[in-house]
Amino acid sequence: MNNNSHDHKNGDEIGCLDAIEWLYAWLDGELDEQSVSQLEQHISHCRSCFSRRQMELELTARVEKSSKSRAPGILQDRLRKLMDEF
């Protein structure tokens, strides 16, 4: 387990608290490249954060897979008719 610091702009090693914060930003596509690299470095040798990353990745994928909906054809027809009225 590593010490936690909050300023890592120079590429130094991050701790678990920062890793978790950054993990969520990464999952949501909100983490910059340099931070991604630092996060990966931390996860490569931290079993706790590695486990959390795997769990969150799988859970996020399952949420996405389970929640995708397709608009019914009847709605698409309805919208086409609406647009025709304008």
Partner 1 sequence: MDALYGVALRLTGKSADAEDLVAEAVTKAWCALDSLENRAHFRSWLFRILRNLFISNYRKQSVRPVEISWSLPAASDEEYDICSWLAEQPNDFLQWWANPEREVYNRFLGEQIMSAIEELPEAFRVTVLLINVEGLTYDEAAEALGVPAGTIRSRMKRGRTLLQKVLWQQAQDAGLAVQCQDKGEPYEQQLTRS
Residues that bind partner 1 (CB under 8 A): 1, 3-4, 15-17, 20-21, 24-25, 27-30, 48, 51-52, 54-56, 59-60, 62-64, 66-72, 74-76, 78-79, 82-83, 86
Of the pair 9, 80, the CB lying nearest partner 1 is at 80
Tokens linked to 82 = 């609406």
State the DSSP code for 10: T
Distance CA 43, CA 23 (A): 10
Q: Which is nearer to partner 1, 3 or 10 (CB)?
A: 3
CB of 35 to partner 1, least distance (A): 14
Question: Which SS3 state, helix, strand or coil, does residue 62 take?
Answer: helix
Q: Shortest gap between Cβ of 65 and partner 1 (angstroms)?
A: 9
Rounded-to-integer distance, Cα 86 and Cα 81, Å: 9
Q: Please identify, using beta-carbon distances, which residue of 13 and 56 lies nearer to partner 1.
A: 56
Report yes or no: 42 and 13 within 8 Å, Cβ to Cβ. yes
